[in-house]
Amino acid sequence: MTAQEVLDTVAAHLLKQGAKSLASDGKHRSYRGEGDLRCPVGALIPDEAYSLKLENQTIETLLERGRCLQHLSEHRFLLKELMYAHDVCPVEAWPRRLRGVAKLRGLKVPKGCR
């Protein structure tokens, strides 16, 4: 995947989902949370590669050792920026934050974020 494809895929996912992916405790972020909500990284993990064991892994570990995301290791900083948007920004601020990420990275602004 190119950086633009990562951004477009994650942006489309987050905007459609419209909610943060939280663990069952309702406090901690989760790659795949309650109601099958997914964070930016969780949205990129294929269903057949996902397991609960991944939830205890950092993004860095998944990118370095997790076979499901090794092909995205060159986009580690983009993924971290997208995770920050999901984890820290209010949902209603996601389009603005995603526009900022696109501009910072020299990418096209994803649909739905204009």
User: What are the pLDDT digits (tens) for 89-108?
Assistant: 999 999 999 999 999 999 99
Residue 91 and residue 18 in contact, taking contact as beta carbons nearer than 8 Å:
yes
- pLDDT tens for 43-93 read 999 999 898 989 988 888 888 877 788 889 999 999 999 999 999 999 999
* 3 state SS of 22: strand
Say what the pLDDT of residue 29 is. 85
- pLDDT tens for 14-33 read 999 999 999 888 778 899 99
To the question of pTM greater than 0.75 for the whole model, the response is: yes
